[in-house]
Amino acid sequence: MIKPKALTSLSIFFPCYNEAENVGSMIDQAVKTAEAYGVDYEVIVIDDGSRDNSADIVRSKAVNNPRVKLVSHERNLGYGAALRTGFKNVSKDLIFLTDGDNQFQLSDIEKLFAKIDSCDAVVGYRIDRQDQAHRRVKGFLWTALSRLLFGLKVRDVDCAFKLFRRKCVEGLELKSDHLLIHAEILARLKKRGAKVEEIGVTHYPRTAGKATATRWGSMVRSAGELLSLYWQIR
């Protein structure tokens, strides 16, 4: 087990929208992973206006473990808005974000820990991405465009397996409500001069629930946001 010097405390957070079939096991994974390292930790779930009983499942987990916390949006505000809320509510020295769809094994955080002592952030890239072909194509094109506009040197912009030192994201003025959020995080960190490293992580098929963030409506909104961000960063 790799325990970096930077790992003095750990926040794990992830967004949740109608993930009742996944959120309980995601919390269990997060708690098990954090406790294995024996540090102060918190697990924060951002419920983005779910219409199922996702929030109730989180509340039931929090009853037995006060380190598990629920932050709720009254209505669905979007994936980016959920991540922005997550960043506003974390309190530990290292911040790990992922998705609530069970397509990663959280124990793979060890791969990110192996690099964090030498940089400000470590971002994963999905090895053999286990999504439908149209989502892989969209992801490839989106990463290519983000790399071109912002000079990002990462292979998988939207991979939701990222670890940050708290000091490198404090005061980061994130604005995206939708899919642009990952590109915005990386572009603003680059402008700030943060050192970012990457490493491959295994990606698994979704076995429950339904992906909603990559619907065409969200993609169109995100494209508009991308152009706006380009002019801001430029």
**Which pLDDT value is given to residue 215?**
58
Determine the Cα–Cα distance for residues 197 and 116; give it in Å rounded to an integer. Answer: 8
Tokens representing 22?
Answer: 């996944």
Task: Sheet with 196-202: list strands edge to edge.
Answer: 68-73, 40-48, 9-16, 94-98, 161-165, 121-127, 196-202
Domains and CATH numbers, the chain: 9-233 (3.90.550.10)
pTM: 0.90
At residue 137, does pLDDT exceed 70? no
Q: CB–CB of 23/60 below 8 Å? A: no
pLDDT in tens, 180-225: 899 999 999 999 999 999 999 999 888 775 666 555 566 666 677 7
Determine the Cα–Cα distance for residues 213 and 17; give it in Å rounded to an integer. Answer: 10
